[in-house]
Chains A and B, each alone.
Chain A
Amino acid sequence: MNAAMPHIAIDNVSKTFGSFAALQGITLDIPQGSFTTLLGPSGCGKTTLMRLIAGFDEPDGGEIRIDGVKVNGVPAFRRQTPLVFQEYALFPHMTVYENIAYGLKLQKTPREQIGRKMGEMLEMFGLTGLDNRLPKQLSGGQQQRVAFARALVMGQRVLLMDEPLSNLDAKMRVEVRSELRELQQRAGITAIFVTHDQDEALSLSDRIAVFDKGRIRQAGTPWEVYFKPDNAFVADFVGTANFIPGEVAGVEGTDVVVRCAPSLLRVDAGGRAFRPGDRVTLVVRPECISISAEEADGGVDAANSWSGEIVNSTFLGRLIRYRVRCGPLACIVDDADPSVRGFLRGAVRLRLDPGKIHVLPGEGGG
């Protein structure tokens, strides 16, 4: 196989249901052995794309290729794209063993080989001793492990996952994440993961494709998606962001000087070309703004620094989230070390690090 060739290639794929355009011109390359997450709000098309890859539905236009071979029209049972379903879809009339071994039996795998592989799987997923139970006799976590074992037992190079962690409780979800990532890397599987949970996407993925209304709004590494969002939708959907409208006052090398309501800000243009007078939107993550009491700062109006007034505060344990009014703007600011000075009140000073401000063209960030 050509090393540069993506394992799974989605090429200009579209799909409509009645008059609803579920996917419009989706193009996405999924490299061999990568963990790719399809992220987006419900109804954005991410699950539809996964179902097209698995062959449950056929695209209306475009091509899906696996290992360079077009799979449009290939029925689901010939695609070899095991899927872990959101609700697990364990066969209720079969035992754990029968569920996991089902695919092997379909392939007419020799009995001793089935025994060996099953032993490995039961061991790997901590299901030893549960093999004669029916799915309804298992806990949610155990059911989920059976679903994974069933999908992986045939040793295929692809694993599709449709929100497989959404039925677990919050603590368990975080635990399973790292196990899942480890497993995928160890086995070198090409994984496609559908979720609407941004934390899950950021923590698991090599690449994230952010979906909205049937289109991909940005595909990139978690870092890029979080710190260098292509547009306001991505910035807003992934994490919390402050959107500050402004106008380019001047261009200095790779930096632009932006005039926004409280003051002038010097920011990195991020490789984009701007001209004075352009309308822009600045994206600033709440944790990228530092906050301190106004008096302590001595009232000096330093560069990239604004004075404001706290409107309210929310204690979240690991941080305090402040809502601060700076002139006409309302900013969200996170104080990541609340134990040091406790809650701030009244007048405060905000400091914006120019390296951590991301600038998007246009009002509203396109």
Chain B
Amino acid sequence: MISSALRKTWMDIKKLKHEPALAVVIAAVLVTTGFFVLWPIVKVVSFPRPADYLQLFTNARWFQAALNSLFMTAISTLSCTAVAFLFAYAITRLDIPLKGLFRFVTLLPIVSPPFIVALSYILLFGRQGIVSKQLLQANFDIYGWHGLWLVQTVTFFPYAYAVIYGVLKTSAVHLEYAAHNLGATRWQVFRHVFLPLCRPGIAGGALIAAMNVLADFGNPMIIAGNFTLLPTEAYMQMSGWFDLSSASVLSTALLLPALGLFLANRVWVGRRSYVVVTGKESSLRAYPVPSYVKWGLFACCLFVALFVLAVYGVLFYGAFTKTWGYDWSFTLRNLKYVSAKGTELYNSIRYALFSSLAAAVLAMILAYLAERKRIGVNRLLDLLAILPGAVPGVFLGLGFAMAFNRAPFELTGTSAIMILALTFWNLPTCYSACLAGFQQIGRSLEEASLNLGAGSFRTFRSILLPLLKGPFLSGLAVSFLRSVTCLSVIIFIYSAHTSVGTVSILSLVQNGAWGGASAFTVVLISIAFAVLAATRLIPATQDRRSL
């Protein structure tokens, strides 16, 4: 079995002698991707001695951090999935007003800096919070697991929503009619037909939410207080004591469940990227639900939507308010923080631009080779392209810091390491967009081109590339947004010269400079939306042309 598979691989490789240029490209892509994806992982995992790993269980603080990470992931996944299901059900199945608003609310957190909800939460409910101090005149302690739970739910439910929505939208309404026809009540249809059919979608959404919550660094950094989690603890070890070994142990502890969730997601939900690909809308109208259910669900959605809007609204308010909690008068002074940090902002945009371009181009080539050419190493290329998606940002950043800190690969403190780390962090995003794009283009188009006499390169350039503009751009835009708003990957590798906007925001928050932090965040979001508008990602995610 294995030998026949190897023989086939060898046969495929041998066929490349007809296209030597292609063989060179494959070798170059394989070596580069392999080096930048695997080498950092190997460095981190192999750095600590085996005895150091045992400390995970003996060091009470670390053990608690691991438990906290799992606990937070579990409860946030539950709440994210519930809210996501509520929105997906309401938007696909109910005849209610304000669907546009609800859709907008599910998109906002995806395109925002990851820690923005945490920041707003402080502005709303913190000691100087507009709700806690002004409205209720109460004083809560918002730092800790319950605050983080709420923040993670609002931040990550849209990721679960994207998957669940994709499944609900394509689920077969006629089966529900069939069940009604056989005498089932509405509740029975929901339980016996609807729910079982969308179970894979719900599972997929839950897994996506879990992966994001587990790996998140920004929100816990700002809101978790003494509730330590693996990513924040790893950061403390590194920034406080420059203890590489401990940081490696903690990051590896984070990598294992992340890999598990990632594998489960691949096996369970398959390769489809639900964020960019949506199915066809059914022409049958959904069976109506009783009005008390409908309006009840509508009220829940409205509540969440208003909360999300408040999160963003308060941020804008904060950006133009003199002293949050004391002096609510209008000012443009906070923008001075932004202009003082012009270099960081410039770096953010520069690195995001280069890294997203590099990721999109590399992803396009990888997706083409893995999906369209029988070259014997397709599975390996596919694995290399998606693997960074399983690696938490903190781990990846630590890996780059450790892998490229001495000759001949010394990149410490350079812009190159920032760009490279962000490139490979974004690779899976672009890759899955391109892969989905390739899967939508019938293979016969490519065969037709070969049949008419075009070689691989010509076919790629004149047939596939023009047809993949959409996925390429959406991958590019999402990567750009992720890079601009990224904190976890760069927290271990930035230097005084290569610092970026998110690092500045974090330090402003840590210094209690809410106004400056808000203003900085508003500028970043504005850039993000400008990019979105430029590439028209929003229509592209909702209505994909099928080729």
Contact = CB atoms under 8 A, between A and B. Distances in A.
B19 interface: yes
Interface string B447-460: 11111111100110
B445 interface: yes
Given A58-B15, A75-B19, A92-B547, A106 B445 contact: no
A80 interface: yes
B546 to A, nearest CB: 10
A290 to B, nearest CB: 48
Given A87-B442, A89-B442, A89-B444, A102 B467 contact: no
Interface of A: 54-56, 58, 73, 75-83, 85-87, 89-93, 102-103, 106-107, 150-151, 154
Contacts of B445: 89, 91-92
Given A73-B18, A150-B452, A106 B458 contact: yes
Contacts of B467: 92-93
Chain B interface size, under 10 / 10 to 19 / 20 to 34 / 35 or more: 20 to 34
5 contacts: A56-B447, A58-B15, A77-B454, A92-B547, A102-B462
B18 A75 contact: yes
Contacts of B503: none
Chain A contact residues, majority secondary structure:
loop
Contacts of A81: 451
**Residue from B19, B442, B445, B452 whose CB has the most chain A CB atoms within 10 Å:** B452
Given A89-B442, A103-B452, A106-B452, A76 B447 contact: yes
Contacts of A102: 449, 452, 454, 462
Contacts of A90: 448
B463 interface: yes
A128 B237 CA distance: 74
Contacts of A83: 447-448, 451
A76 B455 CA distance: 8
Contacts of A87: 442, 444
Contacts of A85: 444, 447-448
Contacts of B19: 75
A168 to B, nearest CB: 17
B408 interface: no
A82 B449 CA distance: 10
Contacts of A78: 453
B466 interface: yes
Contacts of B451: 54, 56, 76-77, 79, 81-83
Given A106-B453, A151-B452, 7 more contacts: A73-B15, A77-B449, A83-B448, A89-B447, A90-B448, A103-B453, A154-B453
Interface in B114-146: none
Contacts of A106: 452-454, 458
B453 A75 contact: no
Nearest to A81: B451
A46 to B, nearest CB: 16
Interface in B461-491: 462-463, 466-467
A107 B450 contact: no
A55 B456 CA distance: 13
A195 B178 CA distance: 37
Contacts of B462: 102
A93 B448 contact: no
A76 B454 CA distance: 9
A73 B17 CA distance: 10
Interface string B347-373: 000000000000000000000000000
Contact of B455 (A77, A91, A93, A103): A77
A81 B447 CA distance: 12
A77 B445 CA distance: 13
A21 to B, nearest CB: 14
Interface in B39-76: none
Contacts of B444: 85-87, 89
B19 to A, nearest CB: 7
A150 B451 CA distance: 11
Top 6 A-B pairs, shortest CB-CB distance: A103-B452, A89-B444, A89-B448, A76-B450, A106-B453, A77-B450
Nearest to B469: A93
Nearest to B545: A92
A89 B463 CA distance: 11
Contacts of A107: 453
A58 B462 CA distance: 25
B331 to A, nearest CB: 52
B484 to A, nearest CB: 31
A77 B18 CA distance: 11
Contacts of B463: 91
A48 to B, nearest CB: 14
